[in-house]
Chains A and B, each alone.
Chain A
Amino acid sequence: MKPLYYLTSLLFLVSTVTFSQKAYLGGTYSIGIPLVGINNYITTGSYRGANFEGLKEINSKVAVGWILGWNVFSEKRVNEVYTYDNITLTGTQYRYMNLFPMLARGLYLFGAQDGTRPFIGAGTGVTADIAKTNVGLYSFQKTGWHFTIAPELGIIIPIGYGSITGSLRYTYGVKTRELDNISYLSVNLGMFWGE
C-alpha cells in the first residue's frame, strides 16, 4: 500500500510544521464535474459529495492542512451495447465511481488575518477509487489508488464564531494498474470553525 505510506508521510510532515496561528476544522458540501478520465465512463455531474478538512496557518500568509473527501459519480445508461471480441452484450448499465481523496494541502492566503481571505493552493496525496458497473443481475468492480494533485482557489469569510468557505478544486489522479487516470472539478461550499 505504497500510496498510504506516502500519504502518512505527508500528513506527518504537515503536523510537524504546524505551530501557533489560527487552526480551522470544517466540512464542505461538494459538487463534482467529471473531466477527462472520468467523463468517458460517467458524463453526468455529481451532487453527492462532502469533504472534511483541517487547516492551520503557519504564518499570516500560509496555511497547511488536510482533506478527507468523498465524491460519487453515477450514471444510468439504458440499453448500452458492449462488445468484447466475439461477444456482444446489451443491457442497462448502472455505473458508479466512488472517489475518496485524501490530501495534504498548502494554501497561500490573501487579505488581512481577521478579514476575508481569498486563497490559492494545492493538495497532494492519494485518491481511493471504487468503480462499479452493474449490468443485468451482475456487478463488476475495479478498485485503485491514484496518486493525486489538486490545485484550487477559494475564499474564507469569517462570520462570528467561524467562517464560511468556498473553493473550486481541480483534482487529477494518475493512472493505476487497473484504472485510467481521473480528473474532475469540484465546487465546495461549507464552513470552518476554530481559531
Chain B
Amino acid sequence: MSSNKTFSSLFVLITMAGLSACYPVGDVTYEDVDIALTQYDKDYYSPGEFNYYQDFQTFVVPDTVVHIIEDGVSDEISREYDKYVIDQVRSNLIKIGYIEETDPEANPADIVVAVSVTTSEHIVYDWYPYWGWYWLLVKKGAGTSKGSVENNYPWDPYYGTSYTYTAGTIILEMVDVAEVDESAQEIPVIWAGLINGAVGGPEDGIKNRLSTGIDRCFNQSPYLFK
C-alpha cells in the first residue's frame, strides 16, 4: 500500500471513529418514554401566597375509567387495567391525607378525581446519519472521484427506518364539586395529571409503569399534600 493510500485509509478511520462514537439513541425502554405531567389552577394555588387545595377534605374517584374515542370508532382500548388505575389514584389520595367519601350521594365529596384514557397511533420515519455517512465513505472511498453512491446518501429512505407505535395517555382530572355549574354544564377542573407513554411491554412492566406514573403525578404536586 502506498503512503498516499495509507494516509487515506487512516483518514477514513479517524473520521469513522469521530462520527461513530456512541450516541444514546439506542436501548430506549418503554419506561424511558413515560412522562408524568401535572398542572394546577392558579386560582387555587399560588406559591407563597395561598393554597385553597388545603380546604378540601374528602374525595371520590368514579369507579369507571372513561375511554375517550372518536365518534363512530369502536372502543378498542383494553379495560384490563382500569380497576388497577383507579385503585392507584385512590391510594395516592389517601396517602397524601384526603378522606374517601364512601356515600357520595348522601354526602357529596369536596373533590372528584375522574380518570380517563385515550390512545393514538403514530408512524415515525427516521434515519441515522452515521450509517449514511459511513456508506458514503466506504463506497466512494477517500481520495477517489468516482463511484456509485446514489443509493447510499443519508437521506435515502433505503437506509432509514420507520416504526409504528401506540401512545397512551391516562388523564386525571380533579373537580371542585362545589363549583360545578349544572345549568351552564361547566365542570371546573382545578388540577390535572397526565401519564403518557408508549403502549406495550410485559404485563408486570405495564402495572409498574402505571403506578409509577400516577405516583409521580401526586408526588410532583406537593401543594396537594395535607
Contact = CB atoms under 8 A, between A and B. Distances in A.
The B interface is mostly helix, strand or loop, or mixed, namely: mixed
B14 A27 contact: yes
B23 A48 contact: yes
Contacts of A137: 33, 35, 122, 165, 167, 196-198
Interface stretch (A89-97, A102-110, A169-177): A89-97
A27 B11 contact: yes
A87 interface: yes
Interface in B8-39: 10-11, 14-15, 17-25, 31-39
Given A88-B37, A137-B196, A49 B23 contact: no
A143 to B, nearest CB: 16
Contact of A91 (B34, B41, B122): B34
A87 B37 CA distance: 7
Interface of A is mostly: strand
Contacts of B23: 48, 72, 74, 96
A161 B196 contact: no
B7 interface: yes
Interface string A30-43: 10000000000000
Nearest to B13: A29
Most buried by B among A75, A91, A160, A162: A91
Contacts, number: 99
Most chain B Cβ neighbours within 10 Å, of A47, A72, A89, A135: A89
Given A76-B24, A137-B122, A28 B14 contact: yes
Interface residues of A, number: 36
Contacts of B3: 160-162
B137 to A, nearest CB: 11
Interface in A110-165: 135-138, 160-162
19 contacts: A26-B11, A30-B18, A48-B18, A70-B18, A75-B24, A86-B39, A86-B42, A88-B39, A90-B36, A136-B196, A137-B167, A137-B196, A137-B197, A161-B4, A162-B3, A189-B14, A190-B14, A193-B7, A193-B11
Interface of B: 3-4, 6-7, 10-11, 14-15, 17-25, 31-42, 45, 122, 165, 167, 196-198, 216, 220-221
The 7 closest A-B CB pairs, nearest first, are A50-B18, A91-B35, A136-B35, A161-B3, A48-B21, A47-B21, A29-B18
Given A48-B23, A161-B6, A190-B11, 18 more contacts: A29-B14, A29-B17, A47-B21, A48-B18, A49-B21, A70-B18, A76-B24, A86-B45, A89-B37, A90-B220, A91-B33, A94-B24, A136-B35, A137-B165, A161-B7, A190-B14, A191-B10, A193-B11
